[in-house]
Structure 1
């Protein structure tokens, strides 16, 4: 997974540390336009045995939240999630994509999950298509890059375990809660770890690119809109239903 990072960070003599926290989740492939439902299915696995995709699809249709599996509203996704999860479900706003969101980072560093929409490029990386390629991803971890001189060694040993093969890679101890705090001011780079219905592997995306992709969600592709024949304007206005928002599970 971390091999997707810059080779500079992975060199044995690198001056950078790689701090990782990840919840291991079994990937589930989507069938048709069910990326939001599949992201929810993958999250449910952490709490209990998930329902089948067909069961979630039928529930979405029954509640008139979806026609064929597509979900273009984070409010609809939260409603659907509430039928299967007893955990806290909170819709949060993203902050400016130029800066780091302390709350977003702390939640992921403390083993909570985030389901978040973005624009999906040909290689599934975040892109800027005004919502025409909108897709859902489950964020199940973080990768923090910072210079060795910018972190206290006692802090590192208290909260992280060193990888047995890569000496500059550290994994957060799962049983300990961590407030990122001052690390935010000293990070050189930040990546989200993501799963989505179009890949069997974890993806690593630049945090700022991902947030900007989320914030650029404006409208459904015109051809897709005509094909789906939605009746409500709210679903068509992604600025209101998807942009600048994510669903926090904790």
Structure 2
């Protein structure tokens, strides 16, 4: 019986007739250098080779200096830890622009500013090594490109009796170490950073030479006055000058920060007129020290006053049970009113 929903029966279809054999058709030859694609896109032409892709653009330039290389790490845990903390260094111009924007109330808007600066690496100090770290940073502007390892400075300072554990309480000893280790000129400046020494210091920095300065360090690393209890070292490798008018020859204005100028490298320039000493807030030292990666801008008078009151050894250091090398006459004889002007050996005064 057939269901009413079933389709009617049909006779079976005859088997299909196989197609006649044909000769195989070879594919067209691929042009040279064309990838062997099973299914090439329809837009690809098989008549012309595909040009190679353009080369990748070069990587962007690095914004910071590579971490320093210090020898003898296998012998010194202290140096190894210090090196591990080292990293890319913020550029001096970037740091200055950041500070000018962040603390614009400090800088007179009626003046134009010229920044003279040299780039310094960074190394965070471990223990009381601020002076030797400052000298190491300055050495990158004075010694051969390979630099002088911090380990060598520490070893020489201990061997010469300048220090017991990295501390440096004598500007004169620092000068002797700089001459021997870096092969540079080291001029001991006495009598403070003011008076006739002021123009010498500013001309030294405008020429691109580093300055080592002992001072009392505040909680934010800036200079303060603690009678030498917080004695610390910094290296200055630049200066920011506030002027009524920037000389027209040899200076270029920052494209992002109007009123800030830089000397144009490798071009003749007119030297600026140095601001008078009785004009506060117009000269700032661009400085670095061993507790921060960043540059800092310090009012020149603030640095001068801090440097001039280094008279006493810290009671907390005297009672901590550690050994320190302090020169005859104490902190007053070793640091007070003194600084170190460093120049390459072949530099003229």
Looking at structure 2, the residues matched to 244 and 73 of structure 1 have their Cα atoms a distance apart, in angstroms, of: 11
Matched, 1:93 2:204: no
Matched, 1:108 2:209: no
Instruction: Classify 1:116/1:69 alpha carbon distance in 2 versus 1 (closer, same or farther; 3 Å).
Output: same
User: Structure 1: any 5+ residue segments left out of the alignment?
Assistant: none
Aligned pair count?
Answer: 241
2:209–2:342 contact (8 Å) kept in structure 1: yes
Matched, 1:184 2:281: no
Cα displacement string for residues 202-228 of structure 1 (whole angstroms, at most 9, x for unaligned residues): 111111001111111001102212434
TM superposition score normalised by structure 2: 0.63
Looking at structure 1, the residues matched to 188 and 233 of structure 2 have their Cα atoms a distance apart, in angstroms, of: 15
Q: Larger C-alpha radius of gyration, 1 or 2?
A: 2
User: Structure 2: any 5+ residue segments left out of the alignment?
Assistant: 1-94, 344-349
Worse overlay, 48-57 or 180-189: 180-189
Q: Which has the higher contact order (CA 8 A, sep 6+)?
A: 1
Instruction: Classify 1:38/1:96 alpha carbon distance in 2 versus 1 (closer, same or farther; 3 Å).
Output: closer
2:192–2:338 contact (8 Å) kept in structure 1: no
Cα displacement string for residues 77-110 of structure 1 (whole angstroms, at most 9, x for unaligned residues): 1111122222211001254658981111111011
Looking at structure 2, the residues matched to 178 and 113 of structure 1 have their Cα atoms a distance apart, in angstroms, of: 21
Structure 2 equivalent of residue 173 of structure 1: 264
For residue 45 of structure 1, report the CA deviation from its aligned partner.
Answer: 1.1
For residue 171 of structure 1, report the CA deviation from its aligned partner.
Answer: 0.9
Which has more helix, going by share of residues? Answer: 1
3-state SS of 2:249 partner: helix
Structure 1 equivalent of residue 288 of structure 2: 195
3-state SS of 2:122 partner: coil
Counterparts in 2 of 1:66-145, with a 5 A limit?
66-95=163-192, 97=194, 101-145=198-242
TM superposition score normalised by structure 1: 0.86
Counterparts in 2 of 1:13-92, with a 5 A limit?
14-46=109-141, 47-48=143-144, 49-92=146-189
Looking at structure 1, the residues matched to 270 and 313 of structure 2 have their Cα atoms a distance apart, in angstroms, of: 38
Which has more strand, going by share of residues? Answer: 1
